[in-house]
Structure 1
């Protein structure tokens, strides 16, 4: 078989992917996730602005600052841990806390992102998630009872993943505070790295789902314009035929 030529960036990009570590998480844990798209031509933006916004957030907590050329960051932020990633058209922030509040999906958990900092982002929210990671109860009926309280039943989706390593659930609705809600019930013996991968993948799936829906909205907008053009073209052809 003839040798295939590799794209010149193949190994660099693959290394970049693996350089972005998954978090290691144990139950219980809370995660607050925010994905934003800078205003204007996001793909052509000044990436240094993203980095400055990260520095501003870390400075608010007196946390260590990232490298000058960072495209991802993972480290302590006060009593929290922050994971930050810079992508082509959006930027993500995930904050982890190894304590559960008394109120599930408390909007106050999102206050880890200070209001004045959010106001200065010059970006639009793609999605935000409050995620609750808890130990799996002995009986699945207990999960069902809990989910009835946490989510809207008619749109609730629940699945066991990775050979029953965890049960995940969401109703994929935006709650009154403006966030998606997701729950992970960790089975006994599931490792912290696996739980971290589950949580990160859930956030990624929600982000790319939201990004794809932005494309769908644009297509629908163009469809209306194409219908009008088609009608005008039919009228023009009819006039020429007459």
Structure 2
């Protein structure tokens, strides 16, 4: 709180953002440990679920209470402390957590008494999660491992069970790093660091980078089995899409059926993408971190063996290219399915439009025929109305004749017909005009 107090009391500046100091101090988080030399280190990286992450914090608290050390905060994602016989650093990442243990007493051989032996066995066995990386590292002097000549690496192979080793000079020649990138009979991989002129801060950063390379390369390769598993699915989707698009060109195809098949294929492809896209994106990010950590080592070749960077590039690049290729090809298949669906829908829309045009033409013809029939019926109706009106007038004339009027009923009836026709015609036109004005 002192920096905040000084800023607000010495100068009248606006109120601080709530996260100003948290964000400012983030660059100092997860700092590498300051180590004494020589040192032995053990490293564990574990994948955890959300529930296991909460359990992990309680487990750390139990260790701190055991040795009378202040535990980390409940929301902390990194922690370092020194205990009676060892030093520990803990970091929690998005998908995994890491534990680094350091011990400083001198052992007869670099990996004979790893730092993990200093950790309470009962506490160690109850750590949450599943191990994805376990590694031992040891920083020793050249005399301790009989490393006198760069051209003779045979004394070092005994520490790696006779396996071929890779290595290089690092940190400007201050040290040489050797490993075989194999899991040994104890379940741990090994890094041997021969100290030439390492400072304590350099030693902490070097071990941190080596452990980062180990965990990030494994996390990056998590996508590789998925890529190999999805490759047959990708070929199947590609062939199915080809079959559908080829059927679209046939004149006698069932467009509705093809559209259903395209929809099902699109759903299947999108399901693969949504399910595995995170893993492929994470693999790419982890691989970039591996490359960055290798670059930070500032390797210089030792004659006769591969550098760590060369080994990683040769082994990991094909796997990463496979992952990127599968992810990219699934995206392309999704775009092609979308284009094919759009083309098919356009074709169906054109067919429907043509059918609608034919239907409208048929409806117009029927309406025209109905109009002609209606006009014919109107004509017949006019004749019928005239007949009945004239008959009515004739009956009236007969009645008047019976009353003594000198009226010729037949003559009156016949003479009324033209007048009746004219009146009916005028009335019909007026009705048509009223209907026309009403519809407009």
Match of 1:133 in 2: 139
- Distance change in 2, residues 1:46/1:153 (3 Å): closer
Counterpart-to-counterpart distance in 2, 1:17 and 1:206: 23
How many residue pairs get matched? 230
Post-superposition Cα deviations, 1:60-109, rounded to whole Å, max 9, x if no partner, equal 55544222322111111221000111111110000000023334324765
8 Å CA contact 2:103, 2:118 repeated in 1: no
Which structure is richer in relative contact order (CA contacts within 8 A, separation 6 or more)? 1
- Name stretches of at least 5 consecutive residues in structure 1 with no aligned partner: 1-8
1:151-166 equivalent positions in 2, closer than 5 A: 151=160, 155-166=164-175
Aligned pairs (5 A) from 1:1-242: 15-39=25-49, 47-61=53-67, 63-106=69-112, 109-114=115-120, 116-137=122-143, 139-141=148-150, 144-151=153-160, 155-188=164-197, 190-234=198-242
| In structure 1, distance between residues paired with 2:24 and 2:180 | 33
- State TM-score, norm by structure 2: 0.46
RMSD (Å) for aligned C-alpha atoms: 3.1
Q: Which residue of 2 aligns with 1:3?
A: none
Task: Give the SS at the match of 2:181.
Answer: strand
Distance 1:185 1:216 in 2: 33
1:124 Cα shift?
Answer: 1.5
With over 3 angstroms needed to count, the CA separation of the structure-2 counterparts of 1:222 and 1:113, relative to structure 1, is farther
SS at match of 2:32: coil
Q: Does structure 2 conserve the Cα–Cα contact (< 8 Å) formed by 1:157 and 1:171?
A: yes
Deviates more, 1:215-224 or 1:85-94: 215-224
What TM-score comes out, normalization by structure 1 length? 0.79
Point out where structure 2 has 5 or more consecutive residues left out of the alignment.
Answer: 1-18, 254-440
In 1, distance between residues paired with 2:234 and 2:181? 32
Considering fraction of residues, name the structure with more helix: 2
Change (3 A) 1:148 1:45: same
In the aligned structure 2, how far is the partner of 1:232 from the partner of 1:60? 62
Q: More strand per residue: 1 or 2?
A: 1
Query: Structure 2 CA distance, aligned partners of 1:10 and 1:173?
Result: 44
Mapped to 1, the partners of 2:65 and 2:226 lie a distance apart of 38
